[in-house]
Amino acid sequence: MRSIRLKNIEKSFHGELILENINLTIPEGKFFALLGPSGCGKTTILRLIAGFESPDHGSIMLGDTDITHVPINKRRINTVFQNYALFPHMDVFNNVAYSLKLKKIHPDIIQQKVIKILKSVRLEHQMYKSINQLSGGQQQRVALARAIINEPEVLLLDEPLAALDVKLREQMLIELMDLQETLRTTFVYITHDQTEALTLADQMAIMNYDGRIEQIGSPREIYEFPISSFVAQFVGKMNLFKGTIKIGTGKVTFIEETNLGEFEVASFARSPWMIEGAHVLMGVRPEKIWIGKKLETNFTNHLAGKVESIVYHGPATQYNVRLKNGVRIEVFEQNEEHFPKEKIDYDDEVYLHWQKENAVLLER
Ligand code: ATP
């Protein structure tokens, strides 16, 4: 397994710029997710890495080797597609054995290898079934087995779970993580589903609508410290306030522009744009807000509002609270039996509280 590096990649189709100056390092042996809205160019990046497309500018490195112009079959990179692309007229065994047979490997070795791989994806008992006798999840596992039988250095996965129902997708997510841990192959997984990316990835990159990468980091870094309002809203939910920065001695505060008040923000990373008077956004995640009818003074920040609607989600309850400036704020609260809370109803006057560490400043 080796790392992949995309350097200054640019790609246009029919004069339309799709990817602009993509610089990306995918570490070896890790699960890397590429997340972005539909049409932003994720599949194009995958096709460039696989060799189905060539970049207009820039280079692609596999470890220390420049593979920009290396043909597909010489790259030791395999792809699992959304539609599996299996051979419907062959059974499971032959689907998986196909590429080994092409290489004229001895039948005994093929038998051993296929059985070993089918065991790793829990399909050893379905070996002689035809593809159309399998469920969607089983077909997906055949596609995975077929992609890893050649021991590729990199496995590219293009929304491989999109066709599965929610329950099966959750199960396959865990199986994929286990498989990656066992194989230690570099996995590059593309998706527009933030939950999938957050669950699976060691590292992830977020692409925006313009085909540029906005942020690269661990799922935790991306979720807790998004660097732009796009990332903040694309990965999870974020309440956003407009205002300006005030820098006091040892303290950064945010002055909301419709007179909601002044709020303290713990700024972990001082970016060059974080200067006195800069017009910025303050973001607070819905689950970081504590809602109550009484004002709690042990929180750094608070705001008053009125409950407009309550949505029960099972594990959590969502409160939609209207502030005096007309803005609607979302609050999520875990439904915990251990810490029963006061009952909050529609139309209740409430306070929203959060700590300064739970607010982020974003460029506007
Ligand atoms: P999705 O999540 O919907 O699959 P994506 O992020 O994977 O989208 P791409 O499939 O990479 O996006 O497509 C990015 C853009 O490039 C789209 O506007 C698409 O129409 C265009 N595109 C991709 N391949 C080609 C091609 N071969 N010829 C012309 N345009 C293309």
Q: How many domains, in total, are found in the chain? A: 2
Last residue of a domain, one of 200, 232, 264: 232
CATH of the domain at 323: 2.40.50.100
List % helix, strand, coil for the chain (3-state, nearest 5): 25, 35, 40
Last residue of a domain, one of 177, 201, 232: 232
CATH of the domain at 172: 3.40.50.300
List, in order, residues 6 or more apart from 324 with CB less than 8 Å away.
260, 304, 305
Q: Are residues 255 and 128 in the same domain?
A: no
pLDDT in tens, 74-84: 898 999 887 77
Q: Is the CB of 100 under 6 A from ligand 1?
A: no
Q: Are residues 141 and 9 in the same domain?
A: yes
pLDDT in tens, 259-317: 999 999 997 667 888 899 999 999 999 999 999 999 999 999 999 999 999 999 988 99
Q: What mean pLDDT value characterizes the chain?
A: 92
Q: Are residues 61 and 137 in the same domain?
A: yes
From the CA of 40, how far away is ligand 1's center (Å)? 7
Find, among 178, 173, 174, the residue nearest to 162 by Cα: 173
Q: Are residues 243 and 191 in the same domain?
A: no
Last residue of a domain, one of 212, 232, 252: 232
In the chain, % of residues over pLDDT 90: 71
How sure is the predictor about 339, in pLDDT bands with cuts at 50, 70 and 90? low
| Torsion angle, alpha carbons of 95, 100, 104, 107, to 10 | -80
| Greater model confidence, 12 or 337 | 12
Crossing angle of the two packed helices 136-148 and 92-102, in degrees rounded to 10: 20
Q: Per-residue pLDDT for 129 more than 90?
A: yes
Q: Residue 151: what pLDDT?
A: 86
Q: Whose CA is nearest to atom 28 of ligand 1?
A: 13
Q: Residue 140: what pLDDT?
A: 86
H runs (alpha helix) in the chain: 42-50, 92-102, 107-120, 136-148, 166-183, 194-200, 219-224, 229-234
From the CA of 318, how far away is ligand 1's center (Å)? 36
Q: Whose CA is nearest to atom 19 of ligand 1?
A: 39
Domain range enclosing 255:
237-363
Q: Residue 341: what pLDDT?
A: 72
DSSP 32-72: EEEE--TTSSHHHHHHHHHTSS--SEEEEEETTEE-TTS-G
From the CA of 69, how far away is ligand 1's center (Å)? 21
H runs (alpha helix) in 149-274: 166-183, 194-200, 219-224, 229-234
Q: In angstroms, how far is CA 357 from the centroid of its own chain?
A: 23
* CA atoms of 361 and 253, how far apart (whole Å): 10
